[in-house]
Amino acid sequence: MNVTAVNAAAAELKEQFSGVEVLPLELDVTDEDSIDKAVAQTVEAFGRIDYAVNNAGISGPKTLSAETSTNEWQKLLNINLNGVWMSSRAEIRQMLKQESLQPE
């Protein structure tokens, strides 16, 4: 994760859109505890989670499939599939604890 780029993007969003709140977080999407901590930090900052976009991903090794190691393949799957799913699951668990938003 490029923390500098994430913080720069957060600053740019705040500058371009007045009133926007941004909470840049650094976490490991392959680690459930890291995900749970990020969800807790988000709820602490904003009070709830209503929407989530999970966009973690790496391109993987630049090798032919026959030359790719099992460890490299598993790393790709752990980030691109498992990490996104575990993040969604943690966010959904939080959302299910919350009262539904009422239309205004």
82-102 pLDDT, tens digit each: 999 999 999 999 999 999 888
CB 79 within 8 A of CB 58: yes
The one-letter amino acid code at 78 reads: N
Instruction: Report residue 102 as tokens.
Output: 């009422």
- Residue 8, in any domain of the structure: no
Give the C-alpha separation, 23 to 29, whole Å: 17
Measuring CA to CA, which residue among 41, 8, 49 is closest to residue 23?
41
Domain assignment present for residue 7? The answer is no
* Domain assignment of residue 58, given as a range: 17-97
- Give tens-digit pLDDT for 14-71: 999 999 999 999 999 999 999 999 999 999 999 999 999 888 889 988 999 999 999 9
Give the chain's domain count. Answer: 1
CATH (domain of 88)? 3.40.50.720
Q: Please report whether residue 75 resides in a domain.
A: yes
pLDDT, position 33 = 97
50 CB-near residues (< 8 Å, 6+ apart): 95, 98, 101
